[in-house]
Every structure is written in structure tokens, then in C-alpha cells.
Amino acid sequence: MEEAANPLQKKICKLLQDDRVEEVNAILADMDNFSLADANLRSTNLRSLHVDGIDFSNAYFRSANLKGLDLRTCSLEGASLHGAQIAGTYFPDLLSPEEILLSVKSGTRLRYRR
């Protein structure tokens, strides 16, 4: 996994790893289309994260809690969901249910249907 690309992304990742989601929501409140591409979000609890428009391309979500999130406006291409909790989560239409389950079970990278 590559390190976060910029200081703000590094700060956001650290806050999420420390379960400080409300602080992240406050930072991102006035931002559009923030990128957490290539982020290591292993074992994070993202249930209350405001995810609208976030780029999670190639992010690593191993054992993360994504329950109930609406990820339909997020980019997830190349992300890995191995062991993630996804009950009630909405995914982008370009991801098939089979692709999502394969990633959760085996850690494969998500590939969009074209």
C-alpha cells in the first residue's frame, strides 16, 4: 500500500484510524470530491463518515466497518474489502454483487463493469 499522498490525507487517515470520525466530517464538510485514494483504512469504523463523493480508489478496507454507508457517489475501483462489514451498504452501480462479495471474501481488487 502506498502512503497517503498529501498531509491532509495523512491527517484524515490517522483520525479515522483513531476512530475520530466526527472530526473528519467537520474537516471535510466544505470540501467536494476529497481523495482517499490508496489510503490504508484497515480496521476502521466508518459507519458515521460522510462519504459523499470521496475517491476511495485503490483503498485498503480490510476488516473495516462500512455498515450502512451510501457509497454510490464514491469511486471504489481497485479498492480491497477483505473481511469488511458491508451489511446495508450501497455500492456504485458499476460494481456487481459478485465482484463485491469476491473482494470481501478473498481481498481481490474491485473492478468496475464497463
Return the pLDDT at 114. 79
What sign for the dihedral angle of Cα 13, 83, 81, 74? negative
Return the pLDDT at 30. 86
Q: Is 39 exposed, middle or buried (CB count within 10 Å of its CB: 0-12, 13-18, 19+)? A: buried
What band does 5 get if pLDDT is binned at 50, 70 and 90? low
pLDDT surpasses 60 at 28: yes
Structural domain boundaries of the chain?
1-114
pLDDT in tens, 78-96: 999 999 999 999 999 999 9
> Options 3.40.50, 1.25.40, 2.160.20, 2.40.50; which CATH number does 1-114 get?
2.160.20
